[in-house]
Amino acid sequence: MSGEKSGADRDKSVPALGSELLGLVIGYAKQETVDPLKSLARFVAWGVAGAVLLSTGGVLLALAAVRAAQAESGVHLHGSLTWVPYAGGLILAVVGATWSISRIFKGTGAK
């Protein structure tokens, strides 16, 4: 009896079965592509927002270091040495970026 079809299956025509199959394929495609893309878009949006905030904070931190060096140096860094605080701020930014990049690659290489 397992080979016999029920009454509802025997009554369906080929076009009805085709449209049912199409509906199942479309539903499966939405489930496996559209829904994950929606959650991925939310993940990416939070990542971009975090990156913008962190980079803004890094720039402000470098500018604060430059301003602190200018304010605390007094008369020592005037004239031909006015570039020294900017070099210090640039070095601070490069060290911070290098540290961040090393943490990113260390996390992916360990897996």
For the four alpha carbons of 32, 35, 38 and 44, in that order, the dihedral sign comes to negative
Look at residue 38 and tell me if it is in a domain: yes
Look at residue 2 and tell me if it is in a domain: no
Question: Are 62 and 90 in contact, with CB atoms under 8 Å apart?
Answer: yes
Domain hosting 95: range is 12-109
Look at residue 28 and tell me if it is in a domain: yes
Number of domains in the chain: 1
Give kind and range of the element (H or E) at residue 4.
Answer: none
What does the alpha-carbon distance between residue 21 and residue 9 come to, in Å, rounded to a whole number? 14
Look at residue 32 and tell me if it is in a domain: yes
pLDDT in single tens digits along all 111 residues of the chain: 455 555 555 677 888 888 999 999 998 988 888 888 888 888 899 999 999 999 999 999 999 999 999 898 888 888 888 899 999 999 999 999 999 899 888 876 555
> What's the pTM value of the predicted model, to 2 decimals?
0.60
